[in-house]
């Protein structure tokens, strides 16, 4: 079985890559992508902790699903805003 730490290393990397992108990117879609990366890193953490530390419970898994749904809807809203901004202003640079 793969060790828990590997998962955590991957998620940490994802999280900080997300932060880096969030801070440095000027394109709003890139910022959105970075945001998704951060959220997904957190969801990996949920799933991993649940799987390894509390195998008999499913709260972490549910939280992950919950997070995925929220992420999806949030992406929808954000994209709608970005498209509207593009239509009115003409660019999506921050």
Which residues are at the interface with other proteins (CB under 8 A)? Answer: 19, 22-24, 94
Residue 11 CB, shortest distance to other proteins, in Å, is 17
Residue 44 CB, shortest distance to other proteins, in Å, is 20
Alpha-carbon distance of 13 to 81, in angstroms, equals 29
Q: Which is nearer to other proteins, 18 or 60 (CB)?
A: 18
Q: Which is nearer to other proteins, 90 or 93 (CB)?
A: 93
Enumerate helices (H) and strands (E) in the chain, giving the number of each: 3, 0
Alpha-carbon distance of 32 to 15, in angstroms, equals 13
């Amino acid at each position: 079985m793969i060790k828990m730490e590997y998962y955590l290393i991957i998620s940490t990397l994802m999280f900080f890559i997300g932060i880096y992108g969030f801070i440095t990117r000027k394109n709003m879609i890139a910022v959105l992508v970075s945001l998704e990366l951060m959220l997904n890193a957190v969801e990996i953490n949920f799933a991993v902790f649940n799987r390894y530390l509390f195998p008999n419970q499913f709260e972490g898994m549910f939280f992950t699903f919950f997070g995925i749904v929220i992420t999806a809807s949030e992406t929808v809203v954000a994209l709608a805003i970005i498209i509207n901004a593009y239509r009115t202003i003409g660019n999506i640079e921050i």
